Amino acid sequence: MKFGVIVFPGSNCDHDSYHAAITATGQQATMLWHDSHNLENCDAIVVPGGFAYGDYLRTGAIARFAPIMQEVSKFAASGGLVIGICNGFQILCEAGLLPGALMRNAGLKYICKFVNVRVDNADTPFTNACRPGEVLTIPIGHMEGNYFCDEATLAELRRDNRIVFRYATASGNVTPEANPNGSLDNIAGVCSPGRNVLGKMPHPERSAEKELGCIEGFKVFQSLVGAMATK
């Protein structure tokens, strides 16, 4: 399997994602420059965290126009696996590959800490190595992680079981206190109708090795490898 990690000007989690894809899974990975039109025959695309193009206009608003995103959109439309992490989630929403938007955190402060996220859908290419309802401890690091969508979209996400991760307590209870940023319905990650595109705010690449103090993010990469093995 070959991972492709996009590099935008301002990305700061691209090398983390590249390293995690190789070290955590033993698979191949390559960097994909933002102005390229070539996905280099990758099997899964990672849109990493950071501050693409400085986020000067709005998070992800400029990155969505990058040439590489045209190819990512085509890849996703053909069923290709795409995961957007943190800023990558914001970019996927701006590009229309996922519904909703990420707004400023409710407390209007940058948050960087470990959080608990409950796996609400283990039947996706990104969570098949998890148990339904399993709680993963994964770090966040964002200023705009407050997920929002309109009522009709939320109803659709719930009906189609497309809310993949929710912020929760260590015991798996979804509570206001467990919500670090004010996200609607404690949403930490959602997927596309075809379940081949995922956006999530917590950083699995920062929790995929024991040296980082947590290895539960490894399951996201492990799931992707498993999904490709069954194709």
Residue numbers annotated as active site: 86, 203, 205
Structure tokens given for 98: 């996922």
Q: Which amino acid is at 111?
A: I
Nearest to 165 by CA among 117, 128, 125, 129: 117
Q: Which residues neighbour 159 within 8 Å (Cβ) at sequence distance 6 or greater?
A: none
Nearest to 139 by CA among 214, 49, 48: 214
Q: 10 Å Cβ neighbour count for 211?
A: 8
Question: CA-to-CA distance for 48 and 9, rounded, in angstroms?
Answer: 12
Q: Which residues neighbour 207 within 8 Å (Cβ) at sequence distance 6 or greater?
A: 114, 137, 138, 139, 213, 214, 215, 216, 217, 218
Q: What is the DSSP string of 117-170?
A: EEES---STTTTTS-TT-EEEEEEEESS-EEE--HHHHHHHHHTT-EEEEE--T
Task: Label the pairing between strands 197-200 and 146-148.
Answer: unpaired
